[in-house]
A and B are shown apart, each in its own frame.
Chain A
Amino acid sequence: MAASSSSSRELQKELEAKANDLSKIQKDISKNHQVRKKYTIQLGENELVLKELDLLNEDANVYKLIGPVLVKQDLAEANANVRKRIEYISAELKRLDSTLQDLEEKQNSKKEAIFKLQQRIQAGKAKA
């Protein structure tokens, strides 16, 4: 009797630990979603800017707002900057995608482990 109840306590502790892990993974997943949203919005904005810059003639004036100062920029330079930013954001999004996949796999395997553990606990209770 004592043996089975202490092992069921151990199982309970294990269950709690796994549940904590699961909730941490889920928090990471939702943080991932938030960062993803931010980057996607920035990517959209930068693509709009690129479209506008592409419509311009060579001699059009482009200014960049740096702090409280509007600084005249070279059209080619502005184009290059926006393109680089788009590349960087796309790379970040891809990285976030693979991290998300990882996290989701971990989440699923944790859920399975928890389920099996719960079954064991139930089986233990049924025997005792």
Chain B
Amino acid sequence: MASRATIIPELEKMSVEQLKSIKEQSDMEVNLLQDSLNNIRTATNRLDLASIALRDLSLRPQGKKMLVPLTASLYVPGTLDDAEKVLVDVGTGYFIEKTMEEGKNYCERKINLLKSNYDQLLEVTSKKKHIADEAGIVLQAKMKQLASAS
């Protein structure tokens, strides 16, 4: 708490110009950070869906009839082969064959990694947003001062 309160006297010492540029810069940074936060949330959702699909797949018996998507609008009837093995996309074009258990594990691990990244990023974003807000407040106060002085 103390560290947040001490930036206000720092901001007050600066001129209107500097305050304006600090506020603009902080606003831009906050926007970039918000974008990153959204990206992480989207990725986490996709992984969640994958994890749910895996769990569902593991419940299905071998030989079960299913419809296989070939394109977004074309499905072809097929039968479920071995659901014990899954191919996992690990990035940069590499796929690893894993057992159903390992696949579920992989999803869990990735989701946890993303969640911790999200939390860290959220902390940084809220600190930056605080600075931007404080700069805005001090800027407005200064401008009022100047307006009433002149």
Query: Which chain A residues border B74 with CB–CB below 8 Å?
Result: none
How close is A90's CB to chain B, nearest CB, in angstroms? 15
Query: Which chain A residues border B87 with CB–CB below 8 Å?
Result: 63, 70
* B94 contacts A49, C-beta separation under 8 Å: yes
Q: Inter-chain contact count A-B, CB under 8 Å?
A: 48
What separation, in Å, do the CA atoms of A23 and B96 have in the docked complex? 48
- A85 contacts chain B at the CB level, 8 A cutoff: yes
* B97 contacts A82, C-beta separation under 8 Å: no
- B95 contacts chain A at the CB level, 8 A cutoff: yes
- A52 contacts chain B at the CB level, 8 A cutoff: yes
* B90 contacts A65, C-beta separation under 8 Å: no
How close is A47's CB to chain B, nearest CB, in angstroms? 10
Query: Which chain A residues border B91 with CB–CB below 8 Å?
Result: 45-46, 48-49
Query: Which chain A residues border B94 with CB–CB below 8 Å?
Result: 49, 52-53, 62-65, 73, 78, 82
User: Contact check: which of B88, B93, B98 meets A65 at CB < 8 Å?
Assistant: B93
Interface residues of B in 55-105 (CB under 8 A from A): 87-88, 90-98
Interface range on chain B (Cβ under 8 Å from partner): 10 to 19
Query: Which chain A residues border B92 with CB–CB below 8 Å?
Result: 42, 45-46, 49, 82, 85
Q: Which residue of A lies closest to B93 (CB)?
A: A65
Query: Which chain A residues border B106 with CB–CB below 8 Å?
Result: 52
Query: Which chain B residues border A62 with CB–CB below 8 Å?
Result: 94-97
What separation, in Å, do the CA atoms of A49 and B94 have in the docked complex? 8
Query: Which chain A residues border B90 with CB–CB below 8 Å?
Result: 48-49, 52-53
User: Contact check: which of A42, A48, A63 meets B95 at CB < 8 Å?
Assistant: A63
What separation, in Å, do the CA atoms of A62 and B91 have in the docked complex? 12
Can you list 12 A-B contacts with CB-CB less than 8 angstroms, sorted by A residue number? A42-B92, A46-B92, A48-B90, A49-B91, A49-B94, A52-B96, A60-B97, A61-B97, A62-B95, A73-B94, A78-B94, A82-B92
